[in-house]
């Protein structure tokens, strides 16, 4: 395999589009997700269209020990990971104390722990080789307080902060790490998280455009990439002057609309 990307959350949305973009450049893929049938469909589609090597691994990365299992399986087969796309994740609507605790613990295991472990495991190999690129799917939520989607926002804040620190540590190593921070994106995320029909996702960006921009940002080695200009303006220009209590009130109203 050559110029190989390991991509989690590959069966739909941004992950699926990242897979196609990577393959369009003649680069190979290891696709990871829970839903085997969707992985098989994507594998067949990419192989037929782009004539690259595509391997699939069915794995639920929210399960304790699954990240190590994935790393062990990939290395045992002799596959070298040149690009790591940590894209798997999910959200959930509702006041924190009213939500099922185990659902939020599972969210932390996937959005934070799986990302942390895979970055450490494959990142060490990249550093030893002096070459590699890591893309972490974060969110503009990582810069904001998140009432009524509190745990999700907190997990993305972790990804943003971890990426910023790691990028500094990796200077001069040949390895880069990028955090993709989109606003609402037109994927199945809204339905899964309980936001079906919410006005918050009106005018959401397309998964393809978001993935395309993210891939280019990764190639350039950008650290934090906010994929829509309006959200970059909000976070970089307006938010520093806005009290957190007001920001939280605005977010709360958006979540409940």
CATH number at residue 64: 3.40.50.720
CA 256 to centroid of chain Cα atoms: 24
* Boundaries of domain holding 126: 5-256
The DSSP result for 136-178, as a single string, is EE--GGGGS--TTSHHHHHHHHHHHHHHHHHHHHTTTTTEEEE
Average pLDDT, the chain: 91
What are residue 30's DSSP bridge partners? 6, 55
Give the per-residue pLDDT at 115. 98
Is 152 annotated as catalytic?
yes
pLDDT of 130 strictly over 90: yes
pLDDT-based confidence at 22, cuts 50/70/90?
very high
List all residues 6 or more positions away from 132 whose beta carbon is below 8 Å from its beta carbon: 81, 82, 83, 84, 122, 123, 125, 126, 174, 175, 176
From the candidates 152, 208, 215, 231, which is the catalytic residue?
A: 152
Structural domain total, the chain: 1
- For the entire predicted model, the pTM comes to 0.89
H or E segment to which residue 49 belongs: helix 36-50
* pLDDT tens-digit series, residues 51-104: 999 999 999 999 999 999 999 999 999 999 999 999 999 999 999 999 999 999
Minimal CA–CA distance to 86: which of 124, 106, 112? 112
């Amino acid at each position: 395999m050559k110029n190989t990307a390991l991509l989690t959350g590959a069966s739909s949305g941004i992950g699926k589009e990242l897979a196609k973009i990577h393959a369009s450049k003649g680069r190979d893929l290891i696709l990871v997700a829970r839903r085997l049938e969707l992985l098989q469909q994507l594998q067949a589609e990419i192989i037929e269209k782009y004539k690259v090597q595509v391997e699939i691994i069915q794995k639920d990365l929210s399960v304790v020990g699954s990240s190590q299992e994935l790393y062990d399986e990939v290395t045992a087969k002799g596959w070298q990971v040149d690009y790591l796309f940590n894209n798997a994740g999910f959200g959930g609507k509702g006041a924190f104390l009213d939500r099922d605790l185990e659902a939020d613990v599972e969210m932390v295991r996937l959005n934070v722990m799986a990302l942390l472990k895979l970055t450490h495991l494959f990142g060490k190999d990249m550093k030893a080789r002096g070459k590699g690129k890591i893309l972490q799917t974060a969110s503009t939520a990582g810069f904001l307080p998140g009432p009524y989607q509190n745990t999700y926002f907190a997990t993305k804040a972790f990804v943003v902060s971890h990426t910023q620190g790691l990028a500094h540590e990796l200077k001069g190593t040949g390895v880069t790490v990028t955090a993709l921070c989109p606003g609402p994106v037109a994927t199945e995320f809204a339905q899964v998280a309980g936001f079906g029909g919410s006005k918050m996702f009106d005018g959401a960006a397309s998964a393809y455009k978001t993935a395309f921009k993210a891939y280019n940002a990764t190639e350039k080695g950008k650290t934090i990439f906010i994929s829509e200009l309006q959200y970059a303006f909000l976070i970089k220009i307006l938010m520093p002057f806005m009290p957190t209590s007001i920001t939280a009130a605005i977010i709360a109203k958006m979540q409940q609309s």
